[in-house]
Chain A
Amino acid sequence: MSDTRDASDEDLLDAARGGDQFAFRVLVERHHDALARTVAGMLGPGDAIDDVMQEVFVQFYKNLAKFRGDSSVRTYLNRIAINRSLDVLRRRRRSIRRFVGIEDIPESETATESTAVSSADKTVWKALDRLPNDQKAVVTLRLVDGYSTQETAEILGVRYGTVLSRLSRALDKLRDQLGPVLREDLDQ
């Protein structure tokens, strides 16, 4: 069992494809923390994080036979996570538009109001919420997950330059939105 825990992702994948449930479990244990940051970065606080992560791993399990190993497991999982999160964000936006109209979309689409979140955290989530989805994905992968620009481009299926321009625009907006919090951090 300890051998399985020490095995590489590739070996675990082979074992999981052969029906080894424990090997798949080790993959989930190994990657769920990093994945949670990606999903949380995209969706903000709330129960949706857990739901989307479950969906990601179930989809990964269903796709085990199709996964050829062109990218690392983490990259592959992140790609699924970003796509699933974008689906949730689109659904949220549609339902908000349906009820309050396109001009009145509230500052925070996430569950910041319903969960116990500090005011500093709320400022950050509001700033992230105001980013368009494509810029939010870049910020999450580059700044939260720590992927390189090249890796971010591969996960999102866009060009290197596109990542840079989206990041630059996102940073301009975040600088404006996070003004006081940012100054406080820089003063320390």
Chain B
Amino acid sequence: MKHVEPEQRDLDAIVRIVGPVVDNAVHRGVKPFFVDRVMRSVKKTRLAGVPADEIFEGMLGWFRPIVVASLLIVVGLIGFNLRQASSNEIAMSVPESVFGLPTVSVEAAYELTGE
């Protein structure tokens, strides 16, 4: 008769006991038409996911040149403002020069004509 170690004997017994119990749980736990339900979920995922990705990709394509053009315009305006500020005789701070802000005195602010 073949000698079996007690450890191995217990292990085999546990496998024999646990296996059918798990199978019972599978039998009760997995509802009918499992594969069909998975495929429906997958279809929903596909329908929800792919066009959104495509729209995102398309928007990136559109926005890239717009971002580049906007940056060029901003840099141009800053250059223009700095040149204007340097030709002015009135002392202006750096933000005023960069953003082209007019120097406003208290007297001018109260002037109703806006001149």
Given A41-B22, A49-B26, A50-B31, A185:B37 Cβ within 8 A: no
In the complex, what residues of B have CB within 8 A of residue A181's CB? 17
A residues contacting the other copy or chain, number (CB 8 A): 44
Q: How far apart sit A39 and B23, CA to CA, in the bound complex (Å)?
A: 11
Of the residues A39, A44, A182, contact of B13 by C-beta under 8 Å:
A182
Q: How many A-B residue pairs have CB under 8 A?
A: 106
Given A25-B35, A50-B31, A53-B30, A171:B14 Cβ within 8 A: yes
CB distance from B111 to the nearest CB of A (A): 66
Q: Does A96 contact B (CB under 8 A)?
A: no
Q: Does B18 contact A (CB under 8 A)?
A: yes
Q: Mark B4-27, 1 if CB is under 8 A from A, else 0.
A: 000101110111111101111110
Q: How far apart sit A143 and B13, CA to CA, in the bound complex (Å)?
A: 10
Q: How far apart sit A185 and B21, CA to CA, in the bound complex (Å)?
A: 14
Q: How far apart sit A175 and B10, CA to CA, in the bound complex (Å)?
A: 8
In the complex, what residues of A have CB within 8 A of residue B42's CB? 21, 24, 57-58, 61
Residues of B with Cβ closer than 8 Å to A?
A: 7, 9-11, 13-19, 21-26, 28-31, 34-35, 37-39, 41-43, 45-46, 49
